[in-house]
Structure 1
């Protein structure tokens, strides 16, 4: 897994796809059946925990996956702002693009492929 932004990461299945992951905080007390589970096992930890949740977002090309991250970050910013200044969104996207540029320059995605994944 490669963290692209504070909200999104990407991983390769090693052969065909790149999948996006979203950072979320999971509160186990809101899970269905929590009261029953804790009654059966009082030692269960109710502490919210961070997870990287896979999104139903599979991409055959890195450019497609990175473009989706830009779109998701834009939508996240718009939903979090009440009266957001478009200049703030532009600044945010500049940061996102810079992060993606660094990942593309510094990570060898070919190294993630196993020899058995490559058809000859």
Structure 2
């Protein structure tokens, strides 16, 4: 596995730990449907969070939320709809972004709830 893949997996684990600490139940990691993959599906109360994780080093400049393209959003929506239907869930669904920034040996985690909407 390449170093960037290992770093991505570490970032996803930091995001999972963060969500658990905030009271979320992790339902699925790396959920796949057709060409779509959702990094984390988590639930808190009656709300389902479809979470995209972006991991970067301190050398990254710019807004990581700009990395999520309209095509990626469409795929996330498709996968989320499939997950909800497959599991017959009656929940509100929102789409979040968690950024994990590595600064030296430390990690900074930021959680953007409702990063985008779908109608």
Q: How high is the TM-score relative to the length of structure 2?
A: 0.29
Of structures 1 and 2, the larger Rg is shown by 1
Larger relative helix fraction: 1
Q: How high is the TM-score relative to the length of structure 1?
A: 0.29
